[in-house]
Amino acid sequence: MLFVQNDVSSCACCTGETSYEAKTEADSNDITEHPHDDKPRPYACTVCDRRFTQKGNMNDHKLIHSGEKLYSCTECGKQFLSQRRLSCHKNIHTSKYKCTECGKCCDTGGHLAVHMRRHSGEKLFECNVCSKRFTRSYSLVVHSRIHSGEKPYKCHICDSTFTVSGSLYNHMRVHTGDKPYICSVCNMSFSEKNNLNSHKRCVHSNRRPHHCPYCGIQCKTNRYLKSHVRIHTGAKPYSCRHCSSSFTQHVKLRRHLLKSHNEGTRVTCQICQKKFSNNS
């Protein structure tokens, strides 16, 4: 995968930003391996066929499929797949890597360096297909899968596929029923941290910090604002791969695929035979 950094084409391995440092938060469960280098990879995952240079990395990766968490933080109770990730997480509590702009504490120096780009607005990595720019090299790698249609992470239970391993890791909770994120106000539990944060903003907060530049409406979340703005612009970025239909929201595209093309009907109710996209 090539990207443009200051108008110079280079490989993500050679920028000084390691794979681990460049990961998005959603993909923090991934393993530090570069799939585009020429190193021999004798160790293959028996679930998704992904290959690794070291057996230890393969064993760590296989924990993603099981959803198992072995190491717990004594400060906050958060759990991790390996001792290494727990050790990095502890840096957050000690404020070892603290942002001087907003006070956010990061788990590694690399993550802090990437975080600082949010304040500076610096986006070094450019997609060579659509020219969209990113602050992280791995964000560019994940983005490029939109153009290639690549979804290398596959659920071994329902065959759902994902572009990042973190999404697969979160998806496994659909099958396990695990909801580790609990609201401190109403004790409602969630399978994903983002859902908990959205719940707090939408249900327990009256803050509406996001303003529409067209009509001035105030929104609680930036995600809702982006969706609302499409009413004014007419943008429909979610296109059906089977027909010419396009939609303003991804959820509307999913409903269309399910209703019109019978796509995603993997689970059937044993009582009435109605079909659904997943167990939840």
Please write the tens of the pLDDT for every residue from 166-206. Answer: 888 888 888 888 888 899 999 999 888 888 988 888 889 88
Selection from 238, 237, 207, 234 nearest residue 222 by Cα: 207
Q: How does pLDDT run across 101-122, given as a tens digit for each residue?
A: 899 999 999 899 888 988 888 8
- Kindly state which CATH superfamily the domain 2-150 is placed in: Classic Zinc Finger (3.30.160.60)
More confident residue, 139 or 267: 139
Nearest 5 degrees, angle CA 109-CA 115-CA 121?
140
pLDDT at 93 over 90: yes
Per domain, the residue ranges of the chain are 2-150, 237-280
Mean pLDDT of 206-224: 88
Higher pLDDT, 231 or 166: 231
| pLDDT at residue number 30 | 40
Mean of the pLDDT values across residues 209-233? 89
| 27 pLDDT higher than 50 | no
CA dist 136 and 143 (Å) reads 11
* 106's tokens: 């990061």
Instruction: Please give the C-alpha separations between residue 236 and each of 55, 227, 242, 245, in angstroms, as whole numbers.
Output: 45, 10, 16, 9
Any residues with CB less than 8 A from the CB of 8 and at least 6 apart, and which? Answer: none
pLDDT on residue 63: 73
